[in-house]
Amino acid sequence: MSDRTTDATAQAAPKQGLNLLHLLLEGRAFFALIAIIAIFSFLSPNYLTASNALTMTSQVAIFGLLAIGMLLVILSGGIDLSVGSTLALCGVFAGWLMQGVELQSLGVILYLPVWAVVVCALAMGAFVGAVNGILVAFLKVPAFVATLGTLYMARGAALLMTNGLTFNRLSGDPSLGNTGFEWLGFNRLWGVPISIFVLAATALAAHLLLTRAPFGRWLYSTGGNARAAELSGVPVRSVQVWVYVLSGICAAIAGLVLSSQLTSAGPTAGTTYELTAIAAVVVGGASLMGGRGTIRGTLLGAFVIVYLGAGLVIIGVSSYWQTVFTGAVIVLAVMLNSIQYGGKGFKL
């Protein structure tokens, strides 16, 4: 009956004293981050130093980049399990290009400038994303299965490309004009790792896309109610393809940043990173059903997960325990999501 909803509103009407709880619930990822920083700063004097904060944040950059792409996909009501593999594939693809491409027919070795390598790697990410998007939007393969397939395929391709080895010569040669790969993640600008700037720029662009551009409205409505969106003239299928493409590009950026940070590109990089990215999105308050979530929340989620893990390392907790703690945080976050979104109304 339709008046159920009115009752639900009445129930959710603010009560004195509930406001604080509501505020805590709304900003839970933020408060969790504050609590994590406070607790670990108290436990270890080394935690909240400028250098450690920068180190941790450049780690956040990798997961944050993946999580931004993941958020877009999750908002559309899908999921992208392939981002970890795409990260590796794009990393080794960049590494392979940096080694020089031998064109046998012409008998020359082609050394691309770094900007061209970057463009090629991003195109590779976009390609994997486009495959995902077309599988999901046009061939109606469930997102979980489609991206699970590309997870395997991209990883396999990365291994094939390197024969399982790692590319270590990424710095280029001044005589060949292809130096500067360090600039993507390893170098610092005003003392701050470049990777953090990359994350900030990507997050800002994604935030504007979601909140200011028509595409954002399309995306939220596609995830919220695809049928209603379609009837309102929203190009639902192209939105679905585009989110996977953007997620692939985010994974490629993360792959470039990571190989630059490590100054090497290996085919096994980024294994299980897709799960961390999903965790960041969920901790950030997004709904896995689609239609609900923000960039700000997702970034906070990435910070919470990395800062918690790094804190546990610093105070000397075994890495096995870290895994347990991370899991607990994810479960707690989803529980709070259910309370926030599901607990207000009641069902007849």
Binding site for another protein (CB under 8 A): 1-15, 18, 212-218, 220-221, 223-225, 227-235, 287, 291-292, 345-348
**How many whole angstroms from its chain centre is CA 125?**
13
Query: What is the rounded CA–CA span in Å between residue 152 and residue 157?
Result: 9
Nearest distance from C-beta of residue 5 to another protein, angstroms: 6
Amino acid at 163: N
Amino acid at 335: M
Q: Between 271 and 340, name the residue whose CB sits nearer to another protein.
A: 340
Q: What are phi and psi of 232, to 5 degrees?
A: -90, 10
Nearest distance from C-beta of residue 199 to another protein, angstroms: 23
Element (H, E) at 63: helix 50-75
Query: What is the rounded CA–CA span in Å between residue 203 and residue 341?
Result: 25
The CB density around residue 182, as the number of other CB atoms within 10 Å, is 17
Q: Between 120 and 236, name the residue whose CB sits nearer to another protein.
A: 236
Q: Between 81 and 295, name the residue whose CB sits nearer to another protein.
A: 295
Whose tokens are 């790094």? That residue is: 310
Nearest distance from C-beta of residue 293 to another protein, angstroms: 10
Q: Between 14 and 191, name the residue whose CB sits nearer to another protein.
A: 14
Q: 108 in the Ramachandran plot: left (φ > 0), alpha (ψ -120 to 50) or beta?
A: beta
Nearest distance from C-beta of residue 129 to another protein, angstroms: 21
Q: Between 189 and 228, name the residue whose CB sits nearer to another protein.
A: 228
Residues in the chain: 348
The CB density around residue 248, as the number of other CB atoms within 10 Å, is 33
Nearest distance from C-beta of residue 229 to another protein, angstroms: 7
Q: Between 236 and 310, name the residue whose CB sits nearer to another protein.
A: 236
Q: Between 18 and 101, name the residue whose CB sits nearer to another protein.
A: 18
Q: Between 177 and 342, name the residue whose CB sits nearer to another protein.
A: 342
Nearest distance from C-beta of residue 147 to another protein, angstroms: 23
Task: Give the residue from 273, 66, 277 showing the smallest Cα distance to 155.
Answer: 273
117, 142, 259, 269, 289 from 77: Cα distances, Å = 32, 11, 31, 27, 5
- Side-chain-facing half-sphere of 102: CA atoms under 13 Å: 2
Query: What is the maximal distance between C-alpha atoms in the chain?
Result: 79
Nearest distance from C-beta of residue 107 to another protein, angstroms: 47
Q: Between 22 and 188, name the residue whose CB sits nearer to another protein.
A: 22
Nearest distance from C-beta of residue 138 to another protein, angstroms: 15
Nearest distance from C-beta of residue 222 to another protein, angstroms: 9
The CB density around residue 119, as the number of other CB atoms within 10 Å, is 12
Secondary structure in 3-state letters for 204-234: HHHHHHHHHCHHHHHHHHHHHCHHHHHHCCC
Whose tokens are 């399990």? That residue is: 81
Dihedral, CA atoms, 46, 50, 56, 57, nearest 10 degrees?
160
